[in-house]
Amino acid sequence: EVDTVNRISADTFASKYDSKPLVFDVRKKSEFDSEHVVNAINIPLNEINNHLAEFPKDKPFILHCAGGYRSMIAASILKSRGWEDFVDVEGGMSAILKTSVPKTEYVCPTTLL
């Protein structure tokens, strides 16, 4: 049996954003700090096992990373531990940047050092 992860396009994510979905960004903290979706929660992939309790099992949520690779790994981890009600944004932040989803003002990562 193959387990699948539901994926949505960045445009579909944009259409759902007004309903205030719970959004988890699994990029590194430095990536998140330089720019992120407004109201997103940052749980870096390498810290996911320490923060499993922050992912609700009784409420749908949305996952994304920079391009889709790390969020698929996060999705696989969550699925294997019993989470079902979530979707992954295809193309990640690079696709989200091309939509109307509100983002924080971009800060060059070198200025954050």
pLDDT mean across residues, the chain:
94
pLDDT tens digits along 45-74: 999 999 999 999 999 999 999 999 999 999
Report the CATH architecture of 7-112.
3-Layer(aba) Sandwich (3.40)
Residues of the chain with pLDDT > 90: what percent?
88
* pLDDT confidence of residue 113: 61
Structure tokens at 29: 């903290």
Q: At residue 84, what are phi and psi to the nearest 5 degrees? A: -130, -35
The yes-or-no verdict on residue 2 having pLDDT over 70 is no
Cα separation of 25 and 12, whole Å?
Answer: 17
Residue 102 and residue 38 in contact, taking contact as beta carbons nearer than 8 Å: yes
Domain borders along the chain are 7-112
* pLDDT confidence of residue 110: 72
Mean pLDDT of the region 22-32 = 97
Structure tokens at 113: 């050092």
